């Protein structure tokens, strides 16, 4: 009986390996393609459009979408597609900065309070409670208004308002892992606390935090776009997605100026959310 | 049991009070310690039309010539007695500004909450009982709702219903129809997490044995839903009420700006552009008070609604 349980059979008993071979669902594939396009837009915008995002041809202002101008033109005759493509880098990097801040600071807080426990947990826990008590968007607005209206400050503000969520999750994961048999075993083998933390607790706790980071990336794009929409990001002629929507809404006769960047935001965030859900389920 | 609950309630209330105070301190520090001396800037602005005596009075009121910690103590002391200070832009008492804006936001938020609950229940019911093909689509709606920025929803609704169908005009933002559309804008992102939780707990509850028993007694699915499933499935969403209040408060900044309503959100937006510290401080700390109070109420209600929740365990959590 026990002889049947050879290595190959034991290996295939894991659901994770089985499921990852089941293939990627088509919607997830499309989502990855969308994200790939967005990444390429932000890295090499000039490959995707021959138009300038800053200089327009005043002879063709507020033109409807056509073969020359896919997303139409704005009130200065600038190609809206070029504006969206060139605005990608700033919109995406600021969301990355926000996630990085939330992930690093939040994880550190959660790790410390979950692993150390006691007074440190109590103190950090109160701090996280306070961060959670102020509605996230209001907190971001207050921070950005103190730091000054720039996209990078909007990113910092968004990151700080996400710290609490990461801290909560990391703490819960660490507490779950800390009591497992393999952590106790590492102490019995003579390992110290730092060793246990780095080689056993962290590798087993970080997965769901990473899934949250992907989800938070989408949320950050939305929050930063909202801050840019209110005018708390870089001023024109920069072309953050949120700012494009805000400046487009003045021209009632040219709704494509709103719809085109809005569609890009929705497609990006939808794709990120889909990927995050897929990662969570195939964990 | 009662004394256990009493002790639990007291401990939670104490915690809540501490969190509110710390939230006030944190907001104060973010507003005053970070670069930029907003109060003096806007006071010295020649357009503010303040006389030297007025400025002196304000500087003295906020203790601006003293260290930050003294200012904090002064400000916190006033907050505890319900004194919120004066706006630097209009010189009106902050409590009056907030009081004037509150009814509009309250109407909007209440309406949005009601719409969000209707949406969430409809989506969850559909996701559970519709034919599989439709149920799959309904299940992905929350994720779609979460991917659309609030301002896009608002602009699309205005474009469609105000400019094309002329259901309402943007020049009269307080009309019933305009308020309804503003509430829908605010409700959509709020309904998404609510629907997700409802779907998950509905799935869970309908697999329980009591549901099987009810079904075998010949109860129709709709009756089963209304009589047995709604109540236990709604419980987890009580814990989400605080989260939802936060969403409503944050979302009102954008929604009110788009629809041109004069509410708390607009007050925040004006305070940010005008560097009006006292107003910003008051609105943010008051929303923390609301958030914490709602959270506390939800925590205190849960053991009463669900006898399975152990008070002693909840107190330690």
The per-residue pLDDT for range B97-143, each reduced to its tens digit, is 888 888 889 899 999 999 999 999 899 888 888 888 888 888 888 88
Contact call for residues B16 and B292 (beta carbons, < 8 A):
yes
- In this prediction, residue B171 has a pLDDT band, given cuts at 50, 70 and 90, of confident
Q: Is the dihedral of CA A156, A157, A162, A167 positive or negative?
A: positive
Asked if A230's CB is within 8 angstroms of B269's CB, the reply is yes
- How far out from the chain centre does Cα B237 lie? 15
- In this prediction, residue B49 has a pLDDT band, given cuts at 50, 70 and 90, of low
Per-residue pLDDT of chain A (283 residues; tens, 9 = 90+): 344 555 555 555 544 444 445 678 888 899 999 999 989 888 888 887 777 777 767 777 777 777 777 777 777 777 788 888 888 888 899 999 999 999 999 999 998 888 888 888 888 988 898 888 888 888 999 888 888 888 888 999 999 999 998 998 988 888 888 878 888 788 888 777 777 777 788 888 888 888 889 889 999 999 999 998 988 888 877 888 888 888 888 777 778 888 888 899 999 999 998 898 888 887 6
Residue B36 clears pLDDT 60, i.e. is over it = no
Shortest distance, CA B152 to any CA of chain A (angstroms) = 6
From B34, B144, B291, residue closest to A135, measured CB to CB: B291
The pLDDT value recorded for residue B44 is: 61
Q: State pTM to two decimals.
A: 0.84
Contact call for residues B42 and B295 (beta carbons, < 8 A):
no
The pLDDT value recorded for residue B46 is: 59
From B34, B149, B163, residue closest to A147, measured CB to CB: B34
Which residue of chain A comes nearest to B25, CA vs CA?
A130
**Measured CA angle at B139 (ends A226, A132), to 5 deg:** 40
Q: How far is Cα B278 from Cα B265, in angstroms, rounded to an integer?
A: 15
Q: How far is Cα A213 from Cα A265, in angstroms, rounded to an integer?
A: 18
Which residue of chain B comes nearest to A243, CA vs CA?
B151
Shortest distance, CA A50 to any CA of chain B (angstroms) = 28
Asked if B19's CB is within 8 angstroms of A130's CB, the reply is yes
Shortest distance, CA B8 to any CA of chain A (angstroms) = 17
3 state SS of B93: strand
Asked if B253's CB is within 8 angstroms of A229's CB, the reply is no
A192: left (phi over 0), alpha (psi -120 to 50) or beta: beta
The pLDDT value recorded for residue B200 is: 84
């Amino acid at each position: 009986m026990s002889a049947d349980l050879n290595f190959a059979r034991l290996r295939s008993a894991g659901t994770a390996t089985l499921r990852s071979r089941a293939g990627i669902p088509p919607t997830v594939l499309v989502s990855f393609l969308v994200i790939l396009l967005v990444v390429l837009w932000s890295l090499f915008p000039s490959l995707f459009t021959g138009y300038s995002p800053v200089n327009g041809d005043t002879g063709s202002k507020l033109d409807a979408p056509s073969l020359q101008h896919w997303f139409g033109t704005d009130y200065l005759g600038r190609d809206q597609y070029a504006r969206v493509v060139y605005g990608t880098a700033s919109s995406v990097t600021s969301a990355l900065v926000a996630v990085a801040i939330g992930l690093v600071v939040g994880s550190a807080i959660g790790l410390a309070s979950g692993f150390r426990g006691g007074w440190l947990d109590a103190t950090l826990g109160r701090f996280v409670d306070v961060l959670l008590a102020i509605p996230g968007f209001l907190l971001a607005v207050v921070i950005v208004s103190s730091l000054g209206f720039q996209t990078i400050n909007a990113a910092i503000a968004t990151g700080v308002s996400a710290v609490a969520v990461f801290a909560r999750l990391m703490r819960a994961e660490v507490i779950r892992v800390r009591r497992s048999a393999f952590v106790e075993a590492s102490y019995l083998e003579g390992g110290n606390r730092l060793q246990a933390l780095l080689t056993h607790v962290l590798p087993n706790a970080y997965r769901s935090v990473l899934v949250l980071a992907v989800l938070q990336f989408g949320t950050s794009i939305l929050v930063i776009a909202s801050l840019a929409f209110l005018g708390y990001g870089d001023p024109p002629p920069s072309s953050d997605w949120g700012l494009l929507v805000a400046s487009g809404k003045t021209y009632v006769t040219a709704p494509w100026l709103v719809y085109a960047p809005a569609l890009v935001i929705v497609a990006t965030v939808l794709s990120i959310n889909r990927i995050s859900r897929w990662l969570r389920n195939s964990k | 049991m009662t004394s256990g609950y009493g002790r639990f309630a007291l401990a939670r209330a104490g915690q809540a009070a501490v969190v509110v105070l710390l939230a006030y301190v944190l907001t104060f520090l973010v507003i005053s310690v970070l670069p930029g001396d907003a109060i003096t800037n806007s006071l010295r602005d020649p357009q503010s039309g303040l006389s030297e005596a007025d400025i002196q009075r304000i500087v003295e009121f906020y203790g601006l010539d003293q260290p930050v910690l003294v200012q904090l103590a002064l400000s916190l002391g006033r907050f505890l007695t319900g004194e919120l200070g004066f706006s630097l832009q209009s010189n009106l008492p902050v409590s009056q500004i907030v009081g004037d804006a509150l009814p509009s936001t309250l109407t909007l938020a209440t309406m949005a909450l009601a719409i969000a609950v209707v949406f969430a229940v409809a989506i969850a019911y559909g996701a559970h009982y519709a034919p599989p093909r439709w149920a799959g689509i309904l299940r992905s709606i929350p994720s779609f709702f979460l991917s659309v920025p609030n301002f896009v929803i608002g602009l699309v609704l205005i474009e469609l219903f105000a400019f094309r169908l002329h259901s309402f005009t943007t020049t009269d933002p307080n009309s019933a129809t305009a308020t309804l559309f503003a509430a829908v804008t605010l409700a959509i992102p709020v309904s998404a997490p609510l629907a997700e939780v409802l779907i998950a707990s509905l799935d869970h509850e309908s697999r329980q044995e009591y549901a099987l028993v009810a079904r075998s007694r010949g109860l129709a699915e709709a009756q089963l839903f209304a009589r047995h499933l709604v109540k236990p499935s709604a419980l987890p969403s009580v814990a989400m009420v605080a989260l939802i209040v936060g969403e409503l408060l944050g979302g009102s900044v954008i929604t009110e700006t788009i629809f041109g309503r004069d509410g708390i959100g607009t007050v925040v937006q004006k305070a940010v552009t005008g560097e009006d510290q006292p107003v910003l401080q008051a609105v943010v700390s008051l929303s923390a008070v609301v958030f914490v109070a709602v959270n506390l109420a939800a925590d205190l209600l849960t053991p009463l609604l669900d006898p399975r929740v152990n008070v002693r365990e909840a107190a330690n959590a």
